[in-house]
Structures are given as C-alpha cells and as structure tokens.
Chain A
Amino acid sequence: MDFFSVLYYQFKKVWKAVRLYLVIAGPGLVVMIADNDAGGITTYAATGAKYGYHLIWFLLLLIPVAYYVQEMTVRLGAVTKRGHAEAIFESFGAFWGWFSLLDLMIVDWLTLVTEFVGMTAALGIFGVPAWLTVIIVVLLMSIIVLNGRYWTWEKIALGFCLLNLIYIPAAFMVNPSLSDIAGQGLIPNLPGGLTNELFFLLMANIGTTIAPWMLFFQQSSVVDKGLQEKDIKMGKLDTFIGSIITVSIAIFIVIVTGTLLHGTPIDDAATAAKLLMKTNHYVGAFMAIGLFDAGLLGAICISLASSWAFGEIFGWAHSLNTKVKEAPWFYISFFFTLATAGVVPLIPGAPLVLITLFVQVIAVTLLPAALVFLILLLNDKKTMGEYANTRLQNIVSTIIVVSIIILSTLYGVSALFPNLFQ
C-alpha cells in the first residue's frame, strides 16, 4: 500500500471510532458534568477565594478518583442490564436494598432542595423572583423529560453540559497569571499547613466529586441507553473524558475566584457572583448563569436517579423511552420529587442551612454502603465474567473507596460536630 492509502485507512479507522464514541457518549459526560452542581460550584468558589490557586493540584488528583469509581457503574450496568438499586436488592437482599433505596430517596430530595436554592439565588441576581425560577425550572424539566425518548433527553442534557463551560471564558476574562497558576497550583502544597479549615475544604471537594446519586444515576442511565458489553470500552472513555471536563471546570472556577476574590470569605456561589459583578460585571454574570445551569443539571439527574431506582424495585416501567401513559408512576415520582423540593426554598424561614447540613450527613450514611456494594458486585465473577474487577483494579478501587469513606465520614462528622476537630 502506498502512503496515501495507509493514511486514508488510518483516517477511516479513527473516524469510525469517533462516530462510535459519539453514539455511545452521554451517561459519563452528563453524570460527571452534573457533578458540578450548585453545591459543587459553591465549594470550588470558596476554595479559590480562600486559598487562591494553591489547591489546583488537589483537584487534579480527583480525576482518577472520579473515573475509577464511576467506570465500575458502566461495567455493572452494561453486563447486568440492571440499575444500582436493583443490583443491591438482588445481590444483598431486601434489608440492604431498602436501606439504600430509602437513603437515596432522602439524600436526593435534600440535594434537590439545595439545587433549587442555588438556582433561585442565581436568577435572583438578575431580578427574577424565586417563585418564577421554580416554575421555569419545573416547566423546562417537563419539556425535557416528557418527550418520550432517552436520546432527546440526553442531547438536551448535553446542551446544558456545554453551558457549564461558561467558566472557561470567565477565567480568561480575569487575566490570571499563568506563572502564578503553574507555580502555586501545580506543585502539591498545603497553604498555611493542614489546618482544620483547609482539611474541611479538602473533604468538601472530595464530597462534591463523589456523590451517592452519581452511582445510581450512571448505572441506570447506561441501562436505559441500552449499552451492551461491547460498548464498555467507549463507555469508560466517555466517563474518563467526563471526569477530565468536570475537574477542568472546577479549576476554572478556582481561577476566577482565586484571581478576583482571593482573601474574601465566600459562603455561597451566589455571593461570589455578586462580588464578582462589582469587579467585572460579565464575569459575575457568567458565574450566576453557570450556577443556575449547574443547579438545573444537578436537578435533572438527581430527580431521575430516584425515579429510576423506584421503578426498578417496584417493577414499574421506568424508561425515558416510554410515554407518560406507559410509565405513569415513573413520571409521577419524578415530578413529585421535583415539585416538593422546589417548594421548600419558597417557604419563608425554611431551615435551608439545616438542610445543607443534612445533605452532608445523610450522604455519609449512603456513600460508603453504595461504594462497598459496588466493589463487591464487581467481584462477583459469576455475574460479571470477564468484566469483573482484576486484582489491580481491586487494589486501586479499594484504596480510593477506603480513602473516600474515611474522608467523607470525617466531613459528615465535622458537619455534625463543628468543634470536634478544633
């Protein structure tokens, strides 16, 4: 073969792989980018405002952490064709199944409330009243979900994922010093030593990177999309690209607040957006738009994670490929979760701080269980066959899971007893 024939053959091969990836891509990208939800944006904004660029290296470490945990759900979903909730019920019995399902329901609902809090605060910056934001969100999500096709839902969700990239131009607009980012951010360091405050923020960053709903969502999403064993390779690539994008977005947020708000105490991302508007109106507006989009993406995924899980266990039709008439309970549970969570921020004097605290604490009861079940299921050679964890995968995933459990437990306990580690 001459040179051009070889080149053409290689091009065809790569193009075929790219086309295959584009067909399979979705669950990994959506779950990873939705991971940067309203709570996540607040954590990253606070990290940059408090420690400047100094913790960028730590965020980079979260890429393999997120990838290794989430890719296991791709294999499990593609091989078993069951969601995480159903897999737990079937493999570990009704006790652990109910525990996981009810815990998931509570965590998801509380997290959904925090997403609505973030969205109402974000649009509040532009003068949109909270009640109108809630109505807009519920209507928007109805349009997205009720179209009766998983494919359409996924493409719309990916559109919102693209909007999440708004932090990239925002970071360029604040003219950060590249030498400072490289010098301070890429060399591992603990600014001011390992203080309680720094430790709490590190734990918060891990807590926002791996959330219980993500495991349930991605596995159910893989099943609903109909991924097969042959698609696992591309599904893993999808998850890997998603984990790089999610951490990159987090880094760009840190760069924005680290450049303009370094040394300013930040309680939430909406406050950060307001403060940024005083320095650069567009950057502040971008931060607010990004916060709304993050809350919306989080809400889309979290409410679906619960409905999928309920459908799996109760035997209801539970696919986005079904119409309302075919799967009434799936859609009823979806809108019930959404509407009840949306109402909470509208209640005057609602205990929103307490709810945020509860999210952290209750997530700690579910996350370790879900992660342990995940590793045990991936070691069930009878079910997983050649896709079971290898020894190396077990070592890596066990180290990651044990570290996450220890740190998230400390995070949850410190949220319960703020003075314990002082």
Chain B
Amino acid sequence: MRTINQFINKIREINQRYAKPKVEMSRAVKFSLAVLRIYLFLLVVLMVYKFITVMNVL
C-alpha cells in the first residue's frame, strides 16, 4: 500500500514538474499539436472500430 502511495505521489510530482510546457507556443507549434491530436483521435477511432468488428465476429 505504501509503495502504491509513493508511486502515485511520484506521478503527481512529475505532473507538477512538467505542468507548464517550456516550448514557445508559436502558431506553428499550436497548429502541429492540434493536427497531431486530430490524427491520433482518428487512429483511436479506427482501432476501436476494428476491435468492435473483431469482437462481433468472435
């Protein structure tokens, strides 16, 4: 239990340490990150779709 608590505290500490991105959020950076989010969202949708179709076949 103590180890789990330590681990959770460590994750909190990491989240706090890296809470604010250091890179200058220029228009190009914001655009790239937005495109990346959309790209990853679409990939996840495709994977979920594939998973559902495979489960239906089984």
Q: Chain B residues near A365: list those with CB within 8 A.
A: 40, 43-44
Per-residue B-contact encoding for A101-123, CB less than 8 Å = 1, 0 else: 00000000000000000000000
Partner of A314, one of B10, B40, B46: B10
Given A91-B23, A376-B29: A97 in contact with B18 (beta carbons within 8 A): yes
Task: Please determine whether A364 and B22 come into contact, CB atoms closer than 8 angstroms.
Answer: no
The contact string, 1 if C-beta is below 8 Å from chain B, for chain A 360-395, is 010011001100100011011010000000000000
Specify the main secondary structure of chain A where it touches its partner: helix
Query: Who on chain A is nearest to B15 by CB?
Result: A94
The reply to whether the CB of A90 lies closer than 8 angstroms to some CB of chain B is yes
| Cα(A235)–Cα(B43), bound, Å | 35
Q: Does A313 contact B (CB under 8 A)?
A: yes
Residues of chain A from 23 to 57 with CB closer than 8 A to chain B in the complex: none
**Once the chains are docked, how many angstroms separate the CA of A409 from the CA of B21?**
27
Kindly identify which residue among B19, B39, B50 contacts A416, using a CB–CB cutoff of 8 Å.
B50
Whether the Cβ atoms of A382 and B24 lie closer than 8 Å is yes
Closest B residue by C-beta to A413: B46
Please determine whether A361 and B14 come into contact, CB atoms closer than 8 angstroms. Answer: no
User: In the complex, what distance in Å separates the CA atom of A361 from the CA atom of B44?
Assistant: 10
A152 to B56, CA, bound (A): 53
Interface set of A (CB-CB < 8 Å, partner B): 89-94, 96-97, 99, 313-314, 361, 364-365, 368-369, 372, 376-377, 379-380, 382, 409, 412-413, 416-417
Residues of chain B within 8 A (CB-CB) of A97 are: 18
Give the interface residue-count category, chain B: 20 to 34
9 A-B pairs, CB-CB below 8 angstroms? A91-B21, A93-B19, A96-B33, A314-B14, A365-B40, A376-B29, A377-B23, A413-B46, A416-B47
Asked if residues A93 and B40 are in contact (CB atoms below 8 Å), the reply is no
B32 on the A face (CB < 8 A): yes
A92-B21, A92-B23, A376-B23 known; A416+B46 contact, CB < 8 A: yes
Whether A380 contacts B19 by the Cβ 8 Å rule is: no
Residue of A whose beta carbon sits closest to that of B39? A368
Known contacts A92-B33, A372-B36; is-contact A361 B47 (Cβ 8 Å): yes
Q: Would you give the shortest CB distance from A333 to chain B, in whole angstroms?
A: 13
List the 3 shortest-distance A-B pairs measured between CB atoms, nearest first. A91-B23, A93-B21, A94-B18
